[in-house]
Every structure is written in C-alpha cells, then in structure tokens.
Chain A
Amino acid sequence: MSLIVMLHGCTKDLVPIDYADINPSIFPKSAADIKAMVNAAYHPLRGSYGDGIHSTSERGIMYLSDATTEILFGKYGDQNLASLQNYRPDNTGFTRYYDDFYNKISRMTVTIDLITRSTVSEALKKEAIAEVRCARGILAYTLYDFYGPIVIAPLEVLNSPLVEEPLARLSKEETVAFIEADLVAAAQDLPAPADAEYGRFNKALAKMVNIRLSLHEKNWAKVIALSNDIIAYNRYSLDANYSAMWDLEGAKASKEVIWAIPCDYAGTSENQWQLMVLPAAFAPKGGFGTISSTWWFYDRFESNDTRKKMLITEFTGTDNVTYSRANPGVILDKGPIPLKINQDAARTTGLTTVDIIMYRYADVLLSKAEAIANSGTPNQEAMDLVNRVRARAGIPDKRLADYSSLAAFNDLVLFERSHEFWCENGQYRADLIRHGKFISRCQEVTQSIYTNPSKVVFPFSLTAVSEGKGKFIQNPGYN
C-alpha cells in the first residue's frame, strides 16, 4: 500500500516536456519575441523549394509566371503546362500557391494582433506592425495576381479555429482595398530606404508593390503619385552595369535595387537558378536544365542590347560538344539558357549566394512612363523615362513620333519590360495580361491549343472548392 502511495506521489505531475518547443505561456513577452514574430512574417516570402513562395524553381512565382510568357519555355512538367497555358484544377503545381500560402496571411493577421496586445514599447510595435503589414500586402498581392480575389479570414474567425466556417472569396474591390491598406500603412511606418537594412522592407518597397497593384487595377494616377514618391526619396538610380546587379554581391552594392531577398549557400533562403537553367553538360558546373528561354524572345532584343548577353546561346559542354543554335541538341533547341545571374561556379550545392532581386528602380521608371501615357497620350516625359532604361542597356533612344499611338507606346513598354525584367519577379505575366496580350502571345510563341481567355488567372484546387461548401467559387473556365 505504501508503494502505491509512493508511486502516486511522483505521478501527480504528468506533464510532457519537449525542450524544442516554446510554451505559449512564456511567449510573446520581450522585444526579441516580437522580432522573431516579424521574422516569421518574412518566412513565406523566402526563396525555398519547400515553402518559400519566391523559390527560383518550378515551385516559385517567378519561374512559373515567366514560363507562361515568351520569356521561358518548359518541355515537361509544370513548366510545360505553364508554357502551353494548359493548367487545370488538378495540377497542384499551380494551385499550391494559394493552398500553401494563403494561411500565412492569417498568420500575419494574428501576429499583428499579438503585437498590438503585447507590452513592448509603442515605437517597437509600430515598426514591427509595419513590417508585418508590408509582408501581408506583398503576399496578398502575389496571390491576387495569380488567382484573382482570395479568401482573407478576419481576426474574429481566426480566433476560434475549432469552429468550422467556410469563407467566400472577397470581392475584387475588397481584395484590392485590403492589399492597398496594408501597403499604405506599411509605407507610412517602415524605415526610409536610406535607413532600412538590406533585405528588409522599406517605404520604397511598399510603394513599389503598391505601384504593381495600381498597374494591375490600371489606376494610373496612383501609379504616377507612387512613382514620384519613390523618385523623391532621391535614393535610387539606374546602375550603369546591368549584369553586375546579379554578381555575387551585386544586389547589395546596387543603387537600383529596391528589395532583394538575401540568399546563401546554406539555405534558409535559397536561390537555385543555376541549377534550374544550366544543362547537365555545362562547364564547369552543370544543372538540371529544367527550362530554357525561347528563340522568339531572344530574336526580339535589339542587336546591341546588353541585357541579352545573359542569354547563353552557345557553349562547349563537358562532353566536348559545342552546342549552339545551329547545333542545339536537346539543350538549345527551344531557346537560349536564361542565366540571368552570376554562374557562381564556386557554389558547392544546388544553391547560390546570389540574392534574388525582386524590385528595381527601373520598374518605377517604366511604370511611371506607362501611367503617364495611359492617363492621357504618350508624351515626351514618358518616352524619356523609357529611353533612360534603354540607354543603360546600350540601345538607342526611341523617338516619340514613332510611338505616338497609345497602342504602339504600350507595346514598346511591354517589350522593354520583358527585356528588362526577365527572370526576376515574374511580373511580366501581369504586364501581358494588363495589355490583353497574354493569350495571344502564348498562341503565337508556342502554338498552344490549350489556352483560352480564362487562363489569365490560375485555377484553385478542388479541395479549396470543397472546403468552401458552396461559398467558394472556382475561377471560371476550370471544369
């Protein structure tokens, strides 16, 4: 009997201990806790094959977006479905961005609430909330750009996770308002470009993403105002050397880069672009050769354009074969190798230390040019902005007289955008859609029989539809 009593004495406290977890009763308390939660808001925006939306692989925004345009062509896999615009609701490679990432918007919503209710200083709260809202704005814009309006769960719903509550997608206006509110608030409280640490959000970035949103909505006045704000920071200029921005430390040294995602060999944030585009036989270090550019794209660069030098059209492989357009093998048959970044031959894994450049000042200039032209007619101010970007690329100025029609000017800007921003942030897809050329370009370049006007947004998975219990409506045309 005494044994039983003894045993009972030592089992009163049946609590498991997992030293690798953080107990919620001690979190979040300190400034360090708040910072860690802010870092968590950046986490989904990394490049990461597993769970970073900006992965430079087929599981990332840029790769897949550019593959739907003439910039990239894939012969197999999701990249092939993208190139032929042949995606359907059961292609998880296309539905996963929504399924995998839209709840991170909720995480940020809850994080903002936790920060608000925490006991740290108001200054710290303000700073932290601005970063989280910027992250939420970027993520929501990215998903909106891919899928159209999405489900954004309100805090009250998030506070009772065990209550099942099917939600409908917001309306277009609500979605845009939500994103814009975040970006405006973030721009308000984020540090100025000069004060922000490299790799972190700043005012200019929040405004740049807002420019993209405003372009998407063709709100030209906002584009102009936001562009002017960024120009007025007087912090940014076009780098003289285009390709140097993608040198090993290029983005960090650049005066042009508004936001880049720091990446390194050991991961955390991963850039694996060389692995994706270099063919196996490439010397000194090959890759998977999962995707190439198109000759259609290459042929539309002007002859002296420095920006096309990073499209590799000829190389001698480890097999001693010289591959070229004339002797393409299965490597250069569809187009050149789009090695937009430094080869980083010293890389020891599939990952490189070259950072992922997301937004650059050139985008501000071209956006402003497009907005000026579209809010009235193309004028010299707009053409000058375009020519500034062209001049850096080493190609001659265009004359306004040759592009006096809006359609011609828009075409010019569109070409300029593709030549300037290929393989960076994937926004060229949105540019084509905005100008109504997304479908026709695909048909022209790939002869695809699969595309149709509904392909301007990606489909949702059947599980998203099912979870909505009838409230969640699939994008049209995906049956």
Chain B
Amino acid sequence: MATTLFKKIVLFLFVCTAFANAMYAQETVSGKVTDAEGVPVSDVSVQIKGTTKLTVTNRKGDYSIAAPGSGVLIFTSVGYTAREIALTGSKTIDVTLLVSNTDIDEVVVIGYGTQRKRDLTGAVSSVKTKDLVMSTGPEIGSMLRGKVAGLTIRQNSAQPGGGLDILIRGAGSEKASNAPLIVVDGFPVSDLVQPESGGRYQAGSQSVLNSFNPNDIESIEVLKDASATSIYGSRAANGVILITTKRGADGALRVQYANNFSFQPYNNSFDVLPLNEWMQVRNEAAREQWEFDNNTGPYGPRPLTDAEANPVNGPFRKLYTQNAINNVGKGTDWLDLVTRNGSTKQHNLTVSGGNKSTKYLLSGNFYDQDGIVKNSGFKRYSLRANIDQELSKYVKLGFNLTTSRIDNDNTQLGGAEFENSGVIRAAIQQGPHIQAIDEDGNYPLNPQLALQPNPFSLLTITDEGRIERMLLNTFVDITPVKNLVIRLKGGMDRSYAKRQSYIPTTTLNGALEQGRAFISNNDRDDYLMEATVNYNKTIAGDHKFDILGGVSQQKTINRFSTSASTGFITDAFLWNNLGAGSTPLASTSSGSENKIASYFGRLNYNYKSRYLFTATVRTDGASVFARNNKWGTFPSAAVAWNVAEEPFFNGMNRVFSQLKLRFSYGQTGNATINSNAFPAYGAYPAWLSASDNRLIGVSLSRLENPDLKWETTTGANLGLDFSLFKGKVDGSIEVYNNVISDLLDTLVLNSYHEVREIFYNIGKTRSKGLEITINTRNIQTANFQWRTSFTLGRYKDNWEERSPDWKPAVYESEKDPIRSVHSRVSDGILQIGEKVPVSQPELKPGMIKIKDINGFARDANGNPAVDANGRFQRTGKADGIIDEADRMLLGTSDPSYAVGITNILTYKKFSLNFDFNALFGRQLADPNYIAYGIGAYGVNSNGYNAFRSVKNRWTPTNPSTTQPGSFWGFSPYQVGDFFLQDAWFIRLQNVSLGYDLPRKLFGNVFSAARVRVDGNNLFLITPYTGVDPETDSYTAAYPYIRTFTVGLNLTF
C-alpha cells in the first residue's frame, strides 16, 4: 500500500513540474560547484549570459537557478577561471572551477603587507605550493629548486633532511653569510641545527627549513631587489624568502588527509672491487710498488737484474696465487652491509573552516624517513594551529602556533680520513678480505690500518639529534577609522636542540676509551615585538596612496652546553649515566644575548595602475654593531610604468594586458659575521700542573674595531613584467647590478701581532645578473590544461676592490671572481720513453705533467721578490720551474646558468606535474674517483679497497692517456686541472601523476579522493662521471638516489 501511495505522489509532483516547465519554458537548473580537488566552492556567482539573472552558491557549493532551455551559464569567482557552460536541457550541472593562473591580479605577499602583482614595483617572485610536488622531502626548500629565477638552491647533502645552499642572486659576501633572510609569517627565523656531537664523526648537514611542514605552506615569495627587501634593512642584503602559511577560510568544515609512501631502492653508487678482483689488482699493485721502491722498471734507471740481486725491501713476492684468486669468491661487501633501501612514510591531516568572524586551521604532520645509509633517519612531528577572530568591526585577533619536533638519527658522515672515516668512506675503503664480524662477535680490523674502524661496527654507534621548535605569533589588528589598520604583534621562536651520542665498545674508538657518551644542548629564545600602522587613501579618484610605518624589536638569547664521559662498565647506559663513566670529560658551555631594534616605513603611490612609485626605508640598531655605528639606515625607491595602461596603447590591448617597466635602486645591509668587533680576552686550558690538573690561561682573543659596520649592498634593478594574449604568456625579465661595499672582512694585521686579524670593512664586490621567468598556458580547454614555467638565472660575482694592503698569492689578481678557481695546467700523462720535462726532473712515467707557463720575478739571490706592496710578480715566461707562478685562473666555481622548467598538465581527472632543474657552466673534480678510482697504491700498501676503475690505470702495458698510474700522488708538481670535468647537469627533479577517483567509488564518505604516483630525481643528463654532480662535494658524500612515491589525498 505504502509503495503505491509513494508512487502516486511522485507522479503527481512530476506532472506538476512538467506543467510548470511548459508554462514558463523555463526550468530550474541546479548543481554543485567544486574546485579541482572536489571541494565545494561557495560564493560563486552563477549568471545567465546576457541577462541580469544571478545567484550564488551556498556553503556546500550548491546553487539552483531558473534558466531557459537554451543559453549559457557563467560561473565566476575571485581566484578562479570563469567558466561558461551551455545549457543543454540537463537539469543538473556540476561544475569544476579551476584556480585562476592568469593572475596579474593575484595578490602576493611582500614585507609587512601584500600587494597586487600588477602593482609591484620591485623584483618579487611568488610560488604557490599547489604547483609543487610536495612528496619529495620533509622541507620546502628542495622543492623550490628551479622554480624561481635568481634563487639558486643546491642540495649539499642527500641525507634525509639534508642541507641546502640557498642563494638569492649569488653570493657577494666574502666572510659574512650569504644566506637569505627567511621570514615565516612575519617572523624572521634563524637557522636551527642540531649541535655538534663533540666526537670525531660528522653528521652531515640539515636544511634550515626542516622545522616547517611544507603542507602548511600556502606560498613562498622571494624578494630580490632593494625595493622589495630594504624594508628588512640590515638583514636583507642576501634577499628575503617569505613563507606564508595556510589559514582557515570562511566555509564549511574541511578535513583533508594525505598519506605518502616513498621508496628509495639503493642502486650501489660505488663500484668497488670484489675480493677476487681485488686480489688480482693487489698482486699487480705490489709488483708496481716493488719496482717503484727499487727504482726499476718504468720508474727508474736501475736495471731489473740489479734490483733483483739486491732488492730494497726484499725480493718481490706475489701475494696471492692464481688458484687462490680463482677460488676466493666475492669477499665482504661492505657497502651492502651499511646501506639499505630507503623509505619514507608521511601522514598529513588538515582541518579548517570558519565563518565570517572566526576562521581556523589545524594541521598535524608526521614524517618518517629511513635513509639509504643505515642508521640515517629523520622523523618529524609537527602541529600547527591558527585562529583568526573578528571581535568587532574595529578589532581582529590572530594567533599562529607552529610546533615541531625533529628526531635525527645520525650516521657517521663527512669526508674525514683514516681513523675519522665516516661509515660510507670506511665501507668503500675497507678491504674485501676482512670479515665484517667474527665468530666471537668482534669486528675485525684491517691489520695494516689498525686505527681505522670496521665500518660494520660503526653501525653500533647511537647518535641522536633532536630539534624542537615552537613558533608563536599573535597579533591584534585595530581599525579605528576606515583605511587605517594598526597591527600589534608579539611572537616567540623558542627552540631547543640537543645531541646525544654514544660510541660503544664494539667500535675501535669506543673500545679504546671504554665507551664515550656525549650530550650537548642548545637552547634559544627569540622574541619579536612589532607595531605597524597602515593607512591607505585615494585622492581625487585615481591617486592611491598606501602608507606603512612600523617599529620592531627582536631579541635572541642563546645558551649552549656540553658534557661527556668515557670509561663505562657497560654499553647499556648509552648517555644516560654520565656519572658512571670513570673519566668525566671537561664540560663546556657558552651563552650570548643579542638585540636588534628597527624603525621602518613604506610609501606606495599608484596612479591608475599606470604610474607606480614606492619608497621604503628601514633603520636598524643592533647590539652586534660596533660602538660608533649602532644604527644603520637602508633606503630604497622604485618606479614603474605600466605601458599597457596608457590610453595610447589601447590598440595593443589585445596583445598586451600588461607591459610594465620597473626600475629600483636602494640599499640593504648584511651584518651576519657570527661574532662582533668588541675586544675580548679568551680563557682556555693552557698547561698541566704536576698532577695533571688543567691550568687556565687567558690571552687577548679579539681586537676592537669601534667603527665596524654592516656591509652595504647598493643595488639597481631593471625589470620588465609582461602579460600577453590574455595571460597566455606572462613573465618577467630582470637585470641587476649590486655593489657590495664595506665588506665585512677580517683585516689581516702584521702577523707578528698577538691577534692577527680584526673585523673590518674592506673592499667591494660586484654581483651582476640576469633573470628570466616565462609562464605559458599552452592549452586551456575545459578538459585539458597545460601550463609551463621557465626560469633562468645567471649571476656573476667579482671582486671590485680589495683591501689596500692585500697581499695576494702570485697568481691572484685584483678583480678575480669571488670564488675563483686557480690551478696549474696539466699536460697529459708522462709515458715511458718520453722526455721528462726540464721543469719536472722528478716526474716518473704514469704521473701527470704540468705546463711551465710562468715564473716568479726573482731577486739577485734567485729568491722570489716582492714589490713595495709586498706582492710577488711574474715574468710571464716559462722559467724551468713548476711552482705557484704556474697557476692560472680557470674561472669560477659558480654555475653560469641555473634553469628550471616546470610543466603542469591536467586532463579530466588526471594531472601530471614534472619539472627539470639544471645548472650549467660548472666543473668539478670527482672526489671519490680521486680518492679511490685512479691508482692501486692504497690497495697494496694499506689493504684498501678501490673502485673497479683502477683496472684502467696507467701501467707500462696500459699506457693510458686519461688515467694516471698508481703513483700519481707522489708527483711533487701536483696534478693541476687534470681531474676537472664538466659538471653541468639537467635533472628530471620531479614527476607527479595524479588521478581523481570518480566520486561514485566512495559515495558520500569523501568529497574528493586522489591518488598519486611521484618520482624524484628520475634521471640526470650530465657529462660528469661521478655519483652526482650536485651532491659530490666531498669524498664519500651521501649518494643522491631516485625516489618513488605513492600517495593518497582524501577530502572529507
């Protein structure tokens, strides 16, 4: 019965509706508007084209509008690309709006404010995190590679959370830091790293941005020229990176969950000799050594028969028989023992929502990476909360809290040698003839190098670093009258970093000391107080003024301490019972307090977006500044002319929506010398008493320079912003010229002085460069979008003026590149029978020849002579001697161009994002090859292992012209540039393929679900033959490996 009744009602309603439709020739169209992630978009206006009929979507993204049978619906919303959809009679039209990318109207964050991109007068680049592949690491820095022209990011260690060298527009400072200022939500943050372990092993490097969860970040703005940066005054000379985090938005509760799993299959970067081949090589190397020691064979004039009759070090004996070699197998694979496949798990949960007066966002992140070298790991727990509350029309409150904890599992890295070798280096060089661990659980050593640890035993070391950070930011916005906003801001960056390590008795060094436990702590408080006033006013309709004034004070308090013990009865205590160590080691501690106070202001003037003017000034007073220069002022000004807004340009409007010329000029400062110029005496243990107690000595450690001041960068920037064909192509071109004067350097005093240097402002450098950014929207249809971004940056840093009493090495000249490469020039490998160059009488076959290209000017005694300035002179002529005068300038170690290309494609529910990152014009000598790949000297004399490539070394029967012989390192003439190779590279940095699961698969549980497959560092195009041209900065550097990631994003 009930069923029947129901059917009747439905039928009735249907008839009614049909009747109504027929009557008005209209029907109600309804649907849902969502964004690309399937999240409802509210406040979208839905209009019937050609009419005034209009509605807006509600908070669930739903709309409904009475529409004629045919016509077009227009969906528009700020920040999204408008869509027009033809009515086809369907009553449900669901629409996906894509975020607008043609945004010269986009708002970008600048120092102490925001600005429309269209009205920028300075060089500012903006990156939205939604365009980044976010799965590739724990921090945002490495994801920015190649994304911003003029921002050079080089990974200096491929370990989990490894460090980055971040440079904006090169590095013009010699002694002061070249790192940009990083500002997170208005708070200038300082680098925070785990303290040193006090032991013999290094733990690599850590990225400055590790504390900040990339998923929390909305955008990154890079401020490059003086106009943009001088609002940060004495800390701005190296550019500024502004990190803006996500905030809640007006709308329904939104819960997003993302999960990634990454996998790094270890690919055996180091091709070392297995035991059988090693024995073969060692046999040959022993013979080479015998001939070398006996001055016979290719290495000397002594006849072989003579040498055999009366040998130095006894007659030659083969170490291994062929039979032994044939039957021995592969031996110990040390690298296999200390490496593994890496993996990463990441969970990210974001909850956000709000209404007109209250907006909130909460997020949590867990990141857990196991590196490819055992014991290297990185775990981060982070939590973030922000609330924006409108109290009344006049008062608004805001609150940001970011807390994070990073647990670093440290393995022993670093390029140190011998007894200090880290785990990778030790594993490369440990001979395959040695057992990893014996029957008794001992770790055998190389008998020829009994002080070198067994690499496998190094895995028993426990070394943990922890970095905890709480960044708290609060603000009150008061709007007493229209257009006037007073913001009071208070913040604290509270951090605590510690390091705990224990070197157990299972390791060689631990056994010697009966265990060594070490604890260090670094406690830092950074307080910020700030007040700004912002007023904007439009006069006579078209003259817009925007005025900002502010004061700020930041205070940093640092405390550091260490304690350690050795001599433990058991390894079980780790560092938890220092008192039980029989030998407590001396504790150390230090502490410092510094302050910086500032006044700043900015005026923007805008006439119809056609003529723009900005003036900025900041005055900083800092405690680290010297007595006579406590305060520094940094002004800048910029003008811009948007030609496209000119009436006379109207005809071109179809092509140009923007054509803006900008010029800025101004000054910024740099005072980061990590010290000060105040006089001080240092105290240190100087002598032992009769009973071996430490006696403390005190002596002058630093001289005062009361006039010391910051470095000043005076920069000019000429820029062109353009947007063509309705935003299909847009971009910027910048050229700049920065002169860095009053360089913070150490003035070298006469070396007979007790303190031999003093911080001083000396010399000038010049940094010139070019940046090109081009974004294109290649294809833009409803189903298929393809965008490409191209960035190119170039900088050239040269000396402009040196210290007046500069005493260069003979090969240096006044205007060399800052990071110049001077080298002797190699001339191939000396072959048997070839005439030994006159300048190199001690050269033996298989060694590298050096070109005699120049010589010292000499005095009557034949000694190199100096001129009245203490400078050595060269004659310009070969002089039959190879010495420092034969070095020549090869260039700079800076890359010539940094290029990035990003492609973002979406096709229906698929998306593909891939980007290339490239550095051109650089050379590198492969440190691993030099240490282990060339000769077999170490294989014989130390029982070291070597790379398979040693088999190609020069020998009398293999007269190689590219790889010298085993004794190449014994040449007293050095090797010159022989091993330098081109190290430009193009890396496919990221590929990310995503797919939005059709909603019918998961019904109403989720509003959107997306799966992703990402690849990182998939391939590399480079002529460089080492492990990686980017991360090979020292021997046995942490190898940079491919990463594959699968990810799932869910929105509830």
Interface residues of chain A, those whose CB is within 8 Å of chain B, are: 3-4, 7-8, 10-11, 14-24, 27-28, 33, 36-43, 46, 89-90, 99, 102-107, 110-111, 151-153, 157-158, 161-162, 164-167, 197-199, 252, 262-266, 268-269, 275, 280-282, 286-288, 317-319, 328, 330, 333, 347-349, 353, 462-470, 473-474, 476, 478-479
Contact = CB atoms under 8 A, between A and B. Distances in A.
A318 B805 contact: no
A162 B447 contact: no
Contacts of B856: 479
Contact of B680 (A24, A333, A349): A24
Contact of A43 (B591, B697, B749, B871): B697
B625 A3 contact: no
5 contacts: A20-B589, A39-B698, A107-B700, A197-B689, A348-B583
B514 interface: yes
A348 B513 contact: yes
Contact of B753 (A10, A158, A330): A158
The 3 A-B residue pairs with the shortest CB-CB distance, nearest first, are A40-B697, A11-B597, A280-B450
B866 A11 contact: no
Given A11-B621, A37-B699, A262 B692 contact: yes
B834 interface: no
Interface string B854-870: 00101001111111111
Contacts of A198: 690
Interface stretch (B754-762, B927-935, B948-956, B988-996): B754-762
Contacts of A167: 750, 752
A198 B621 CA distance: 53
Contact of B688 (A23, A24, A157, A268): A268
B100 interface: no
A34 to B, nearest CB: 10
A11 B553 contact: yes
Given A106-B753, A268-B688, A348 B512 contact: yes
Interface in B737-754: 747, 749-754
B441 to A, nearest CB: 18
B604 to A, nearest CB: 22
Contact of A39 (B593, B622, B687): B687
Given A4-B599, A107-B699, A348-B513, A16 B870 contact: no
Interface string B991-1004: 00000000000000
B728 interface: no
B676 A467 contact: no
A37 to B, nearest CB: 6
Contact of A22 (B451, B591, B680): B680
A19 B448 contact: no
Given A14-B625, A33-B698, 9 more contacts: A16-B676, A39-B697, A103-B754, A262-B688, A268-B685, A282-B450, A286-B450, A318-B450, A463-B807
A90 B750 contact: no
A301 B592 CA distance: 60
Contact of B752 (A15, A106, A348): A106
Nearest to A282: B450
B572 interface: no
B190 interface: no
A237 to B, nearest CB: 20
Contact of B681 (A16, A24, A161, A333): A24
A22 B699 CA distance: 10
Nearest to B858: A479
A19 B755 contact: no
Given A20-B591, A287-B451, A14 B630 contact: yes
B510 to A, nearest CB: 10
Given A7-B551, A16-B592, A43-B697, A348 B514 contact: yes
Given A21-B680, A46-B687, A319 B447 contact: yes
Contact of A3 (B551, B753, B807, B883): B551
Contacts of B809: 462
B703 interface: yes
B292 to A, nearest CB: 12
B623 interface: yes
Q: Is the interface of A mostly helix, strand, loop or mixed?
A: loop
Interface in B127-180: none
B624 interface: yes
A153 B752 contact: yes
Contacts of A19: 590-592
B502 to A, nearest CB: 15
Interface string B807-821: 101100000000000
A465 B591 contact: no
B124 to A, nearest CB: 28
Nearest to A152: B752
A40 B754 CA distance: 12
A272 to B, nearest CB: 12
A462 B872 contact: yes
A42 B697 contact: yes
Contact of A18 (B451, B567, B680): B680
Interface in B823-880: 856, 858, 861-872
B682 A21 contact: yes
Given A17-B592, A281-B448, A318-B450, A36 B697 contact: yes
- The CB with the most chain A CB atoms within 10 A, among B567, B687, B689, is that of B687
Given A102-B752, A268-B694, A479-B864, A39 B686 contact: yes
Contacts of A46: 686-687
A40 B699 contact: yes
B508 to A, nearest CB: 11
B884 interface: yes
B449 interface: yes
B700 A110 contact: yes
Contact of A14 (B551, B591, B595, B862): B595
B603 interface: no
A15 B623 contact: yes
- The CB with the most chain B CB atoms within 10 A, among A11, A103, A166, is that of A11
A353 B869 CA distance: 48
A389 B858 CA distance: 50
B681 A22 contact: yes
B695 interface: yes
A36 B690 contact: no
B184 interface: no
B448 A151 contact: no
- The CB with the most chain B CB atoms within 10 A, among A20, A349, A476, is that of A20
Given A16-B592, A16-B594, A353-B692, A280 B870 contact: no
A199 B447 contact: no
A10 B692 contact: no
A107 B754 contact: yes
Nearest to A86: B972
A422 B823 CA distance: 41
Contacts of A473: 863
B699 A90 contact: no
B529 A7 contact: yes
A90 to B, nearest CB: 7
A262 B450 contact: no
Contacts of A158: 752-754
B127 to A, nearest CB: 34
B864 A161 contact: no
A167 B749 CA distance: 12
B941 interface: yes
Given A280-B451, A464-B751, A470-B867, A17 B593 contact: yes
Contacts of B314: 328
Nearest to A287: B451
A161 B313 contact: no
Nearest to A37: B698
Nearest to A286: B450
A469 B866 contact: yes
Given A39-B686, A264-B692, A24 B514 contact: no
A470 B870 CA distance: 7
- The CB with the most chain A CB atoms within 10 A, among B314, B689, B690, B863, is that of B863
A19 B599 CA distance: 29
Given A162-B749, A348-B514, A467-B751, A478 B863 contact: yes
